[in-house]
Amino acid sequence: MYAAGPGNGPEAAAPTATQTTSRGYDAASAREAWTLNCMGCHTGDAHGIPGKVPPLTGAMGHFVRVAEGREFVMRVPGASNSALSDAELANVLNWLIDTKNADTRPADFKPYTAQEVAAKRRPALTDVAKHRAALIDMLHKNGDTAVAQQY
């Protein structure tokens, strides 16, 4: 068994300086934070667990098309209450949008910033299912029917 993180495991590489992508996130740090804080529930491919944990792949690209969805992503309890700093959470969200939602990411997507996350991540949503359903209803009314209510 090995500890997750840069330099460990089958994808180990020589340590390098922080490398920020052209889209403004540090992929190695984001991947590590994802592995340690998110992947346990949302699974390695971000497809979630049918009927239990919603998928992030594809869905997030649709959610961030509207202000309510952009905020929803920051306020789900796993994000809002995580031990990640505001900058770390912004980094993970940007990485998720770019890597797991590239096909659904809006062309005009503006990366999350630490300042935005600090201002909007709390309080955590208490009825995530209700908020998610309302968000999906909003998307459907706007003609975006790609995200299903049931997962």
Fold designation for 27-141? Cytochrome Bc1 Complex; Chain D, domain 2 (1.10.760)
Q: 2 pLDDT exceeds 50?
A: no
d(CA 111, CA 9): 29
Phi, psi (rounded to 5 degrees) for 26: -95, 105
Contacts of 68 (CB under 8 A, 6+ apart): 135, 138
Q: What is the pLDDT of residue 19?
A: 56
Amino acid at residue number 136: I
Confidence (pTM): 0.83
Q: What is the pLDDT of residues 109-119, one digit of tens each?
A: 999 999 999 99
Cross-strand partners of 49: 53
Closest CA to 58 of 142, 136, 141, 137: 136
77 has pLDDT over 50: yes
Ranking 94-98, 113-117, 146-150 by mean pLDDT, the lowest is: 146-150
* 46, two tokens: 């971000």
Over range 66-76, report the average pLDDT. Answer: 97
> Taking 80 as the threshold, does the pLDDT of residue 17 lie above it?
no
Q: What is the pLDDT of residues 26-70, one digit of tens each?
A: 999 999 999 999 999 999 999 999 999 999 999 999 999 999 999
Contact 106, 64 (CB under 8 A): yes
Range with the lowest mean pLDDT among 8-12, 31-35, 145-149? 8-12
What's the pLDDT score for residue 22?
54
Asked if 116 and 69 touch (Cβ cutoff 8 Å), the reply is: no
Q: Please state, in angstroms and rounded to a whole number, the distance separating the CA atoms of residues 10 and 59.
A: 29
Looking at per-residue pLDDT, the higher value among 25 and 140 belongs to 140
**Distance in angstroms (rounded) separating the CA atoms of residues 45 and 7:** 20
User: Which pLDDT does position 8 carry in this prediction?
Assistant: 38
Helix spans in the chain (H): 27-37, 39-42, 59-63, 67-75, 77-80, 86-100, 114-120, 128-141
- Is the distance from CB of 35 to CB of 4 less than 8 angstroms? yes
On the question of pLDDT at 151 being above 50, the answer is yes
In this predicted structure, what is the pLDDT of residue 150? Answer: 87
